[in-house]
């Protein structure tokens, strides 16, 4: 059961009201997470800004979704995990690779290496080594793509932690 209530453009105030009204005008609805994030205009605005920025990331979406699956499998947000599994499928990632991502790896050594970096960023960034970064470059990743991993992880920490705090689960979805 959700711990925080959903807001609408009618029940939100100030910046949150404006952000929700704009979203409804463009898409016809808001999702549960966004409607609940509206309690904090700072969190909602930050989420929108980071999400838009990561849409311009150098990492391809299939790789980014696998990173998100690996992070969410550890963080424990089933709502996020389900969303990223669906997004990976939509990008043509097969079921075996989705399962590998859940366990933090890939059959492709380059993707396995970038997932491993993401998991280190998530749980212990002080353990990242020069050799690990050099290995990513050897797999063809640019410094921009390597840096983008931090943004993908940060966005997943934000959404996953928020959903867990708010009590949002696949079962609590309103479908609105």
Residue 172's pLDDT is 77
pLDDT digits (tens, 9 = 90+) for 55-70: 999 999 999 999 999 9
Cα-based torsion angle of the residue sequence 91, 68, 150, 118 in order, rounded to the nearest 10 degrees: -110
Percent of the chain with pLDDT over 70: 98
pLDDT band at 79 (very low <50, low <70, confident <90, very high): very high
pLDDT at 171 over 90: no
Report in angstroms the alpha-carbon separations of 143 from 20, 59, 62, 153, 160. 35, 11, 19, 16, 26
Helix (H) / strand (E) containing 162: helix 143-166
Average pLDDT, the chain: 95
Q: Is 17 exposed, middle or buried (0-12, 13-18, 19+ CB in 10 A)?
A: middle
pLDDT at 176: 41
Stated pTM of the model: 0.93
Q: What is the biggest distance separating any 2 CA atoms in the chain, rounded to whole angstroms?
A: 53
- What DSSP character marks residue 58? S
As a dihedral over the C-alpha atoms of residue 113, residue 115, residue 121, residue 127, rounded to 10 degrees, the angle is -40
* Chain CA centroid to CA 30, Å: 17
């Amino acid at each position: 059961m959700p711990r925080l209530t959903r807001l609408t453009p009618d029940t939100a105030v100030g910046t949150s009201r404006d952000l929700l009204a704009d979203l409804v005008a463009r898409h016809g609805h808001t999702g549960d997470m966004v409607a609940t994030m509206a309690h904090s205009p700072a969190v909602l605005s930050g989420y929108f800004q980071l999400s838009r920025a990561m849409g311009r990331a150098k990492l391809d979406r299939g790789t980014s979704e696998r990173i998100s699956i690996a992070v969410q499998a550890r963080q424990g947000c089933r709502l996020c995990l389900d969303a990223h599994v669906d997004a990976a499928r939509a990008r043509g990632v097969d079921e075996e690779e989705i399962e590998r991502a859940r366990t933090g790896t890939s059959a492709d050594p380059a993707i396995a290496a970038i997932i491993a970096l993401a998991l280190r960023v998530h749980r212990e960034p002080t353990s990242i080594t020069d050799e690990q970064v050099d290995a990513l470059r050897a797999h063809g990743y640019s410094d921009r793509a390597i840096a983008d991993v931090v943004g993908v992880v940060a966005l997943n920490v934000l959404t996953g932690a928020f959903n867990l705090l708010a009590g949002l689960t696949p079962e609590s979805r309103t479908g609105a």
